[in-house]
């Protein structure tokens, strides 16, 4: 994979160099704040391409960040729902245990000590 990327970069660099050399006509370029009286057409095309790539990458990173945040929010909502269900289940278990404990205490308290002495023979 690394060798493929190196070869691809060399091919792109060679193409860019050939583009600049083939398009040697000079043109006047107005850059809004200043004017360049003479610039090679191939260089202008490469600069435009580079600016487009940079702007595209920056926008792509921002859009990906928005998608990534949305995915994170969905994941966290699922976690919250799962934790709520677990909390409800543990509360129901605790309530059932408390009810069982109170029933046990009530049955133990219902036996009076004098009743234990008067056992039928």
Residue whose tokens read 């056992």: 119
Q: What is the pLDDT of residue 91?
A: 92
What total number of domains does the chain contain? 1
Q: What is the pLDDT of residue 76?
A: 95
Residue whose tokens read 């702007």: 55
Q: What is the pLDDT of residue 15?
A: 87
In a domain, 116, yes or no: no
In a domain, 117, yes or no: no
In a domain, 95, yes or no: yes
Domain hosting 90: range is 2-108
Tell me if the pTM is above 0.85: no
In contact, 40 and 18? CB cutoff 8 Å: no
In contact, 20 and 42? CB cutoff 8 Å: yes
In a domain, 118, yes or no: no
Non-local (6+) Cβ contacts of 24 within 8 A are 40, 41, 42
| Burial degree of 52 (CB within 10 A; 0-12, 13-18, 19+) | exposed
Residue 12 corresponds to which tokens in the numbers above? 């792109």
Q: What is the pLDDT of residue 115?
A: 56
What residues in the chain have per-residue pLDDT under 50?
none
Q: What is the pLDDT of residue 75?
A: 94
């Amino acid at each position: 994979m690394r060798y493929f990327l190196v070869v691809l970069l060399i091919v792109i660099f060679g193409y860019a160099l050939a583009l600049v050399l083939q398009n040697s006509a000079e043109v006047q370029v107005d850059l809004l704040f200043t004017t360049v009286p003479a610039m090679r057409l191939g260089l202008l095309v490469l600069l435009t391409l580079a600016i487009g790539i940079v702007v595209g990458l920056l926008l792509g990173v921002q859009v990906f960040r928005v998608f990534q945040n949305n995915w994170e929010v969905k994941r966290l909502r699922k976690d919250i729902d799962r934790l709520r269900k677990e909390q409800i289940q543990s509360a129901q278990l605790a309530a059932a245990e408390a009810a069982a404990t109170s029933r046990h205490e009530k049955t133990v308290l219902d036996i009076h000590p004098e009743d234990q002495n008067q056992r039928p023979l």
